[in-house]
């Protein structure tokens, strides 16, 4: 049973909380002064402390400090009397886990307590994992071994306790969105998670998508529409492909991040932003800043906490556990009973470059699983990877080798291979661009650029 200590000088609040929380199944203790509360905690620590900022003897911040000294990981939820940003920021800086406003709303309190307990549980899990460095571990379905991924798990644990902005960077298919969802689920699981792809919509539309608009603010604005920042409530707005945002909108976003409020398009009301904002990019934002293509002030504002996902080729030790994990997912979805990949195929996987990273691995496993006859996926099940192996080429020669140079003994350039592969995928799939991107493991702008580069016209959308 989780234990809670309530420290507040208002006897009626203490009594109400005691009743309510006991009813909810917590083990509750209460104190009316900071000193009493501290003594009780020292005698026997609680999982969560609910702490008033104004106390008769010592102020809540001092109590918080001493609690933290006693136990660095204590989860303290502060009760603040005013909607006062400064008090709140100070409380959070002082290491409070969360805060709620007076008069106390039990739903709000409930969410805060559940979050605190969840984070406690996760810390324990992560601590346990950190003690076994050689094991492959997972947090919320993120597979990762090795130091780089372990540091990322730690960062996820830390940011899940706060609502700071997080910038997630990594090549396409490295798991940026997955990380964003895990952070969201650990921070505000019951609130909306809203992803916006900044490259997919034209600027003016994106602005009204994000901020909403008032009725009549432009032709076609027949009614007031709420934007993503409002719809996300206390949840998450995930700004994907942030590098593609126009300069103009970057300035507006910066203002939102600084002031945590905005106006709807065509409106005058100030709307508060309560959502946590995360952004992702597969570009090197810092380099774009240097080239003058991305605002440096916004970059610094987004980069408060950065998670840099390493490409799969730099963490090859993750390939076998990822294959296990992905295959069990695929088996479930496709009703298959695939056990694994052959040793020979595994060797290929371990040396392949994986330009599309984990998405690419997932896609080729799905494709192989669909056509495979046996329970072990072998070289023949992966025609796209088997080409450099002469025995593989002969055994699957019904798929003409598009990567072979027409003249014997000569080889194609990388660009030629890329172009042929893109054409092949478009030819063989009667799909829309989104699906082609998915199959190739690239983003929409990347595909567009490549179509442009190779002069491929592809109008199906």
Point out which residues bind Mg ion (CB under 5 A): 177
Contact between 176 and ligand ATP by CB under 6 A: the answer reads: yes
How many alpha carbons fall within 13 Å on the CB side of residue 97?
28
* 279-308 residues near ligand ATP, rule: CB under 6 A: 282
Element (H, E) at 297: helix 296-302
* Chain position whose Cβ is nearest to Mg ion: 177
CA distances from 194 to 75, 122, 229 (A): 28, 24, 9
Residue 7 per-residue DSSP state = E
Q: From the list 30, 88, 136, 174, which residue makes contact with ligand ATP (rule: CB under 6 A)?
A: 174
Q: Which residues contact 268 (CB under 8 A, 6 or more apart)?
A: none
325 binds, among Mg ion, ligand ATP, none (CB under 5 to 8 A by kind): ligand ATP
Residue 440 CB-density burial (10 A; 0-12 exposed, 13-18 middle, 19+ buried) = buried
Residue 216, number of CB atoms within 10 A of its CB: 12
362 binds, among Mg ion, ligand ATP, none (CB under 5 to 8 A by kind): ligand ATP
Whole-angstrom Cα Rg for the chain: 27
Q: From the list 58, 92, 117, 178, which residue makes contact with ligand ATP (rule: CB under 6 A)?
A: 178
Give the binding range for ligand ATP (CB under 6 A) out of 17-25, 44-52, 127-135, 174-182: 174-182
Encoded tokens for 145: 């071994």
| Contact code string over 425-454 relative to ligand ATP, x by CB under 6 A | ------------------x-----------
Residue 440 CB, nearest distance to ligand ATP (Å)? 10
Nearest residue (CB) to Mg ion, 31 versus 198: 198
Asked whether 100 and 6 are in contact (CB, 8 A), the reply is no
Residue 118 CB, nearest distance to Mg ion (Å)? 25
Residue 241 per-residue DSSP state = T
* 325-364 residues near ligand ATP, rule: CB under 6 A: 325, 358-359, 362
The pairing of beta strand 225-226 with beta strand 212-213:
antiparallel
443 binds, among Mg ion, ligand ATP, none (CB under 5 to 8 A by kind): ligand ATP
Residue 230 to residue 275: CA distance in whole angstroms:
8
Give the binding range for ligand ATP (CB under 6 A) out of 139-147, 345-353, 371-379, 398-406: 139-147
Nearest residue (CB) to Mg ion, 18 versus 177: 177
Residue 325 CB, nearest distance to ligand ATP (Å)? 6
Residue 311 per-residue DSSP state = P
| Contact code string over 221-260 relative to ligand ATP, x by CB under 6 A | ----------------------------------------
Encoded tokens for 164: 């700071």
Residue 303 CB, nearest distance to Mg ion (Å)? 18
Q: From the list 157, 170, 212, 235, which residue makes contact with ligand ATP (rule: CB under 6 A)?
A: 170
The pairing of beta strand 236-240 with beta strand 276-281:
parallel
Asked whether 280 and 169 are in contact (CB, 8 A), the reply is yes
Q: From the list 142, 196, 319, 436, which residue makes contact with ligand ATP (rule: CB under 6 A)?
A: 142
Alpha-carbon dihedral 237, 110, 262, 291, rounded to 10 degrees: -40
The residues that touch ligand ATP, with contacts defined as CB under 6 A, are: 141-144, 170, 172-178, 282, 322, 325, 358-359, 362, 443
């Amino acid at each position: 049973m989780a234990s809670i200590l309530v420290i507040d000088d208002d006897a009626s609040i203490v009594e109400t909380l005691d009743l309510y929380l006991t009813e909810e199944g917590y083990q509750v203790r209460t104190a009316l002064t900071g000193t009493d509360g501290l003594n009780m905690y020292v005698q026997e620590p609680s999982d969560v402390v609910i702490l008033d900022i104004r106390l008769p003897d010592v102020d809540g911040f001092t109590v918080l400090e001493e609690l933290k000294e006693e136990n660095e990981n204590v989860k303290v939820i502060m009760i603040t009397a005013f909607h006062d940003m400064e008090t709140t920021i100070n409380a959070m800086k002082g290491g409070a886990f969360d805060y709620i406003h007076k008069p106390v709303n039990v739903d709000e309190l409930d969410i805060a307590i559940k979050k605190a307990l969840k984070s406690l549980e996760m810390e324990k899990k992560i601590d346990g994992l950190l003690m076994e460095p050689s094991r492959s571990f997972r947090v919320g379905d993120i597979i990762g071994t090795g130091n780089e991924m372990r540091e990322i798990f730690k960062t996820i644990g830390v940011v899940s306790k706060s609502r700071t902005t997080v910038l997630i960077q990594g090549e396409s298919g490295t798991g940026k969105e997955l990380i964003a969802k895990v952070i969201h689920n650990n921070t505000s699981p019951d609130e909306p998670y809203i992803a916006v792809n900044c490259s997919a919509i034209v600027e003016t539309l994106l602005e009204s998508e994000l901020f909403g608009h008032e009725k009549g603010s432009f032709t076609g604005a027949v009614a007031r529409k709420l934007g993503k920042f409002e719809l996300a409530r206390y949840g998450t707005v995930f700004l994907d492909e942030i590098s593609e945002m126009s300069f103009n909108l970057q300035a507006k976003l910066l203002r939102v991040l600084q002031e945590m409020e905005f106006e709807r398009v065509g409106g005058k009301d100030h709307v508060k932003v309560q959502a946590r904002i995360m952004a992702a990019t597969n570009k090197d934002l810092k380099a774009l800043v240097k080239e003058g293509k991305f605002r440096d002030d916004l970059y610094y504002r987004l980069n408060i906490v950065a998670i840099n996902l390493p490409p799969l080729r730099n963490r090859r030790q993750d390939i076998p556990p990822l294959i296990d994990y992905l295959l069990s997912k695929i088996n479930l979805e496709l009703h298959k009973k695939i056990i694994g990949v052959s040793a020979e195929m595994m060797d290929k996987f371990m040396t392949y470059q994986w330009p599309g990273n984990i998405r690419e691995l997932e896609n080729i496993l799905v494709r192989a699983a669909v056509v495979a006859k046996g329970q072990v996926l072998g070289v023949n099940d992966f025609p796209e990877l088997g080409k450099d192996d002469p025995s593989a080429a002969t055994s699957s020669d019904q798929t003409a080798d598009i990567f072979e140079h027409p003249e014997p003994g000569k080889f194609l350039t990388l660009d030629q291979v890329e172009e042929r592969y893109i054409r092949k995928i478009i030819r063989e799939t009667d799909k829309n661009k989104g699906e082609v991107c998915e199959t190739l493991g690239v983003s929409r702008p990347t595909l567009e650029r490549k179509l442009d580069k190779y002069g491929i016209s592809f109008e199906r959308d």
